[in-house]
């Protein structure tokens, strides 16, 4: 039975199958995409459109006008006090308070009060709001953290520096002296300058010396000319200042 089936399934000699696979002689696809030149790649990368970042939707943040309108009456009062401080005082120093105790602050106030220097406390938000619209806007970066103001109507830099040496927890950040913003090194250099009275005395003495020297120079030529004229007159006189006596002798 098995031999009969195998004989029926196996192809007989001279028999061709009904379906034959015919392979056509088509060429293989050998074309590939040409690589882009390096200069063109750079040009495409540079000229590629980069969309701008999306900003916040309108109304997400309140405008500055609304914030200015929301200032309380207490903040407005503090800004007026700050403005008065800058108008009435010629020295305004910004000092950072590094965890100073209440007793140390009282002692520091007492020492500064002896020299006519007063301590003022204002919130940093109020100070920045005032400085942003004033000529002292460059002082705004100094108000970071816990800050204190040392103010005086007359610049007393030497006294302030000598007092701060006894309080290491108080660090001087900068100051505005005579409408001039100074750094810490600038304040130290300013303290080494002579006082106004000494400078005025040196100026007056220098001007007096110059005036006296000028006056002597102006008087020198007329005096010399007068002496020459007197000598010329004596030489041109007929008797040359001598008189003849009756005995024939000449006497002066």
In this structure, what token pair is assigned to residue 223? 């005096």
Q: So what CATH class is 70-191?
A: alpha beta
Largest CA distance in the chain: 205
Q: Where are the domains of the chain?
A: 70-191
Identify the three-state secondary structure at position 142.
Answer: helix
Listed residue (112, 81, 92) closest to 153, CA to CA: 92
Residue that has been written with the tokens 């109304």 in this structure: 59
- Neighbour tally for 120: CB within 10 Å: 13
The model's pTM is 0.54
d(CA 146, CA 97): 6
- pLDDT of the chain along its 252 residues, tens only? 555 545 555 555 555 555 555 555 555 656 777 888 999 999 999 999 888 888 777 777 666 555 556 677 888 899 899 999 999 999 999 999 988 888 999 999 999 999 999 999 999 989 988 988 888 888 888 998 889 999 999 988 999 999 999 888 899 999 999 888 999 999 999 888 877 787 788 888 888 888 887 888 888 888 888 888 888 888 888 655 444 444 545 444
Q: Which residues lie below 8 Å from residue 167, measured CB to CB, with a gap of 6+? A: 100, 104, 108
């Amino acid at each position: 039975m098995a031999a009969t089936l195998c004989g029926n399934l196996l192809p007989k000699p001279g028999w061709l199958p009904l379906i034959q696979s015919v392979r056509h002689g088509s060429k293989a696809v050998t074309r590939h995409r040409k690589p882009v030149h390096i200069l063109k790649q750079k040009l495409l990368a540079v000229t590629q459109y980069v969309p701008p970042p999306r900003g916040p939707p309108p109304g997400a943040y309140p405008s500055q006008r609304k914030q200015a309108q929301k200032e309380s009456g207490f903040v407005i009062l503090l800004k007026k006090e700050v403005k008065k401080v800058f108008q009435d005082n010629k020295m305004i120093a910004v000092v950072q308070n590094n965890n100073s105790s209440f007793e140390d602050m009282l002692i520091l106030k007492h020492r500064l009060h002896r020299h006519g220097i007063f301590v003022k406390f204002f919130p940093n938000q109020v100070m920045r709001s005032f400085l942003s619209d004033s000529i002292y806007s460059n002082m705004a970066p100094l108000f970071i953290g816990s800050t204190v103001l040392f103010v005086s109507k007359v610049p007393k830099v030497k006294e302030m520096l000598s007092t701060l040496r006894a309080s290491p927890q108080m660090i001087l950040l900068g100051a505005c002296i005579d409408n001039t913003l100074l750094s810490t090194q600038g304040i130290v250099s300013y303290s080494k300058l002579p006082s106004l009275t000494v400078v005025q005395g040196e100026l007056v003495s220098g001007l007096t010396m110059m005036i006296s020297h000028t006056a002597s120079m102006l008087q020198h030529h007329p005096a010399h000319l007068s002496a020459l004229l007197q000598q010329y007159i004596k030489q041109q006189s007929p008797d040359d200042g001598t008189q003849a006596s009756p005995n024939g002798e000449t006497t002066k």
